[in-house]
Amino acid sequence: MRSDAQILALLDRDPEEGMARLLEQYAGLVWTVSARALQNTEDTRECVNDVFAEFYRRRDEFDPEKGSLKTFLALIARRRSIDAWRAAHRRPATAAEEEIPEAPNPLSLEDRAALNQLIDSLPELDGRILRMKYYGGMSAREIAAALDLPYETVKKRHQRSLKKLRSLWVAGLVLALLALLAACAYVVLRYFGLVPGYGVNTDPTQGTYLLAEPVSAQDGDYEIQIQDALWQNGLLTIDMALYGAESPVTALSPQLEGVELLSWTMADSGDAASPGPYNYRLMAATKPVGRSDSLAVTLTLWDTPLSLQLTAAQEITDLSSAGAWLLTEEDGGLLAMPRLENGELIVTIYPLHQGEYRTQYSCNEGIWGGFGGPSQPITVTAPDGSVLTGEPEFYVPFDERAGLDWYFGPAEPGEYTLNVPFVYQDFAGEFVKTAVMPAQAGAGTELALPGGTLTLENLRPAAADDLPVQFREESRYPGYSWWVVDAVWNGDDPERVLAALSNLMPPAPGMMGVYEDPVAQPLYTTHTEADGNSWQQLTGYCLGVPAGTEQLTFAPVTRNGSLCYRWEHPFALSFTVEPETPAAEYTVTREECTLTAVPRRVNGAVTVSVYPEKGPGKLTVSPQIAHNPLPGATDEPVTLLAADGTAYTGTYTPGRDGSYSSWKFGNLPAGEYTLCLPSLYLTGPDALVAVPLPQQEGESLPVGETILPGGRLQIGTVRCLGRAENFPVLATTEEGKILYQDTAMAIGMPDGSIVSLNELPLEAELDLTLQATWKDYTLLSAGVKFGATAEGSEGTACERQYALAEDGTTQLSGLLLRYKPGLYAANLTFTQPLYRWDCDFTIPITVP
């Protein structure tokens, strides 16, 4: 964010750029102040333009010693909005309003006439481009489509015209007037449709469609469940879960009817080693579908058709009523929707996509966080001048989310400014270009990329230390020679830096996993800042070249996040944080168990948070409430039951501080509901058992059982499997001696502490049987402390194993122990045993 002094200096030096930066930094503030008096969006838009025009005229009157630029603009905005309101309502002014003098018209008839005369002096096509851009509010891409011209031609003619106008009107006022006429392009879009939770629709001719209800079907050994679907901005996203014994990923080849398919990708988020569903996200690029009340799509997996009915979502088309937002004309922007929740400031940030670059929903974090430049946090400036640093909610990279919640800690109502120092972007357009370089020392080439050129130079043989670990296995790359080439980025826009290009020459596997084509691995240089933070800069590639290769063909892959830019464009969005509306609390006690439900409506969507207060007996209710925390486990749905019998299924989200959980239900009608929790998860106190450790392969020793609150854990025997042959090793000498990693550790002391070894440890396995003695309770799992170690720090010394029980639940079934020969016994502590209570807990609530 630029200082007031920097903006004023830039206004004098480069009025067009200065006005653009002024608008970016204070447009949200001026809009907010103006909108308080003006209910009509068009009136607010006109008022905002007038405010910035007046400021440009009166900028010499601004005295930084009497107040900030923010305050000065807010005063102008207040006066202008009152003037506009008074003119619209034709009523006498109040005494307070009469104290504010009338402002002169910022764009006089003389100015407009002079400006038109100058534009008329340009070639006809250049004049049309300027009028379409500044008078019509059209983007360069829209102008190119309307005039049937290449996009780059429009951009170059526009820049050339501005330079000519600058020479004709040396004072530079023309540039400021043009910037003011274009203020709407920065402050208010002609159309945006927001569906909270699902993102922003940028095309006024298209709608947003959501899955009306889940769909399921049976196909052979698999049950298919369609959990959610969204069509927006030409992308159809379908979330599905497949239940079966084996991962079906190799057999999936979806077909779509009802939309014209351009391309599709399938993301697998399942875990083939764990019981439970295999989760997939299908993302299909389609042609526009227009606007209607519904969209019917048929998805066919194998030979099973699933009919999906998507209904048109209700969109918010006036973003000024939803939050503060800022847009640059060609490269996109951000929408910020603030709220107070439990006394904490939360800002939902949505990317506003426009042009060829798509801002990632994680803004300045994500999979490429820490690449391309130093890390800088997203912050808000509070009314008292203090700065609060934001933390994003939990998210999974590449899941194509629409927006992200950022948490800024305790805050009070008032005027805030959100500061986003930079964002990461993907290239969203089509790009197919290659470059060829001779496979010989010293060769180089230039590879054209969107937004600039990547120069590959100084090809040279790679040293042993240059080879990434995956390239050191010679059996996979027989006859390959290894090279290093430097990479230098030359961007068209100094604000846009190439952060990552991971797929330069994607490897093509041949038979039996042996590679037959050139392979490439990006090389990054680590830079460390004075504060200790480090970041990665792309500086080259390590190349593997098959024998006989005479030239290298570089073909960058621009999909799946492999091409990423860091856009060093700061955003400053001012908004008002309204006081938090106290949420009603609903508390129910059943069989000594007490829960409190707190329903809220956030951005139109209903969320119900559930707080545990008391558990039965010695057990406590897990903060995850009704969400099974075990790997691969599935949940019974948590629902809201309406008075008419309609059940709405919720989506689990963890609580911020780990003391509660929430379920999101979408945009439901207000009214009376019953929150239905089919089961609760509870934890209990620790239990200890001493385990003898056998020393010979095949030797078995009896153990016994340990008593838990409401259940017991039986350990029949512990069996020695012999030496841990698959234990991590660093290398093997020519004599066959194993050199172990420093991190290869096992239990090795009588007190149960972990030590590094110079020999292979012993392995033993224990079969566990978990039994609950209370009705409707199932003992599922427990944490483990092996010896005197802390839970989770056992490293390779203790591994938990799970199995699928007869009732379909995931349960702890055994342990694999590794220990130093000569250690004859160790303690096992089972911590926080986990129970499921099948209770059908219900809480009557009122949804606001």
Q: What is the dihedral of CA 173, 174, 177, 183, to 10 degrees?
A: -120
DSSP per-residue letters across 224-260: EEEEEEEEETTEEEEEEEEESSS--GGG---EEESS-
> What is the average pLDDT across 303-329?
76
Q: What is the pLDDT of residue 558?
A: 64
User: Can you tell me the distance from the alpha carbon of 146 to that of 144, in angstroms, rounded to the nearest whole number?
Assistant: 6
* Confidence check: pLDDT of 306 > 60: yes
Ramachandran quadrant class, 258 (left: phi over 0; alpha: psi -120 to 50; beta: rest): left
- 323-427+573-577: what fold? Immunoglobulin-like (2.60.40)
Residue from 813, 750, 824, 827 nearest 779 by CA: 813
In order, the DSSP letters of 592-631 are TEEEEEEEEEETTEEEEEEEEEE-STT-EE-TTTT---ST
What is the model's pLDDT at position 550? 84
The pLDDT value given to residue 326: 64
Distance CA 765, CA 817 (A): 6
Q: How far apart are CA 202 and CA 404, in angstroms?
A: 18
| Per-residue confidence (pLDDT) for residue 177, from 0 to 100 | 52
Pairwise CA distance, residues 795 & 788, whole Å: 13
pLDDT band at 185 (very low <50, low <70, confident <90, very high): very low
819 in Cβ contact with 762 (< 8 Å): yes
Tens of pLDDT, residue by residue over 251-274, are: 567 788 988 887 777 766 544 334
For the chain, count helices (H), then strands (E). 11, 54
Burial of 68 (0-12, 13-18, 19+ CB in 10 A): exposed
Hunting for tokens 């604000």 — which residue is that?
495
- The CA-atom distances, in angstroms, between 490 and each of 375, 426, 826 are 22, 17, 61
Question: What span, in angstroms and rounded, lies between the C-alpha atoms of 524 and 804?
Answer: 44
pLDDT (0 to 100) of residue 601: 86
* Stronger pLDDT, 290 or 323, i.e. the higher one: 290
Q: What is the pLDDT of residues 465-521, one digit of tens each?
A: 777 777 776 667 788 888 999 999 998 888 899 999 987 875 544 433 455 577 888
Adjacent-strand bridge partners of 418: 380, 573
Look at residue 188 and tell me whether its pLDDT is greater than 50. Answer: no
| 195-312 matches 323-427+573-577 in fold | yes
In the predicted structure, residue 101 carries a pLDDT above the cut 50: no
- Name the 3-class secondary structure at 477: coil
Which tokens belong to 686? 């620790």
* Angle, helix 4-13 to helix 15-37, in steps of 10 degrees: 130
Q: How confident is the model at residue 204 (pLDDT cuts 50, 70, 90)?
A: confident
The domain spans of the chain are: 4-187, 195-312, 323-427+573-577, 435-557, 586-668, 687-837
Q: What per-residue string of b and e applies to 593-612 under the rule 16 or more CB within 10 Å gives b?
A: bebbbbbbbbbebbbbbbbb
pLDDT of residue 612: 95
Please tell me the least confidently modeled range out of 118-127, 535-544, 755-764.
Answer: 755-764
Write down the pLDDT at residue 495: 85
What does the pLDDT read at residue 515?
Answer: 54
Q: At what angle do helices 41-58 and 15-37 cross, to 10 degrees?
A: 130
Q: Which two tokens stand for residue 484?
A: 């290093």
Q: What is the pLDDT of residue 28?
A: 64
Q: What does 108-126 look like in DSSP terms, one character per residue?
A: -HHHHHHHHHHHHTS-HHH
User: Does residue 357 surpass a pLDDT of 70?
Assistant: yes
- pLDDT at position 241, please? 77
Q: How confident is the model at residue 841 (pLDDT cuts 50, 70, 90)?
A: very high
- 375 Cβ contact list (under 8 Å, min separation 6): 364, 369, 533, 535
88: pLDDT strictly greater than 60: yes
Question: What is the reported pLDDT for 42?
Answer: 62
Contacts of 108 (CB under 8 A, 6+ apart): none
Mean pLDDT score, 642-647: 90
Token reading at 797: 């010394």
Give me the residue label for tokens 């639940």.
809
Which of 198 and 412 is assigned the larger pLDDT? 412
pLDDT tens digits, residue range 707-746? Answer: 887 778 888 899 999 988 766 554 454 555 544 444 456 7
Structure tokens at 682: 């509870």
Higher pLDDT, 830 or 98: 830
- What is the separation of C-alpha 365 from the centre of its chain, rounded to a whole number of angstroms? 8
Nearest-angstrom CA–CA distance, 824 and 787: 12
DSSP 480-517: -EEEEEEEEEEESSTTEEEEEE--SS---B-GGG-B-S
Confidence of residue 24 (pLDDT cuts 50, 70, 90): low
Cα 364 from Cα 565, distance rounded (Å): 11
CA distances from 678 to 626, 638, 642, 651 (A): 7, 7, 16, 14
What gap in Å lies between CA 511 and CA 310, rounded to an integer?
Answer: 44
pLDDT over threshold 60, residue 630: yes
Residue-averaged pLDDT of the chain: 79
Give, as one character, the DSSP assignment of residue 314.
P
Structure tokens that stand for 173 in this block:
């006022």
Residue 131: DSSP 8-state: I
Query: Which CATH class, in words, describes the domain spanning 4-187?
Result: mainly alpha
Alpha-carbon gap, residue 423 to 361, rounded angstroms: 9
State the virtual CA torsion across 143, 144, 148, 154 in degrees, nearest 10.
110
pLDDT at 295: 93
CB proximity list for 380: less than 8 A, separation 6 or greater: 345, 347, 387, 388, 390, 408, 411, 416, 417, 418, 419
Count CA atoms within 13 Å of residue 99 on its CB side.
4
pLDDT cut 90: percent of the chain above it = 22
Pairing of strands 193-195, 496-501: unpaired
Is pLDDT at 540 greater than 90 in this prediction?
Answer: yes
Structure tokens at 836: 């499921």
Q: Residue 324: is it exposed, middle or buried by C-beta count within 10 angstroms (0-12/13-18/19+)?
A: buried
pLDDT surpasses 50 at 663: yes
Q: Give me the phi and psi of 742, to 5 degrees please.
A: -60, -25
Which tokens in the block code for residue 583? 């949420």
Question: Dihedral of CA 293/336/491/149: which sign?
Answer: positive
Residues near 524 by beta carbon (within 8 Å), at least 6 away in sequence: 371, 536, 537, 538, 539
Distance of CA 268 to the CA centre of its chain: 17
Q: Class of 195-312 per CATH?
A: mainly beta
306 near 215, Cβ under 8 Å?
Answer: yes
pLDDT at 200: 84
Which tens digit of pLDDT belongs to each residue from 560-587?
567 899 998 888 888 889 898 888 999 9
Q: What is the mean pLDDT of residues 93-119?
A: 51
Instruction: Give per-residue pLDDT as tens, 775-810.
Output: 888 888 888 888 765 444 445 678 888 877 766 677
More confident residue, 283 or 204: 283
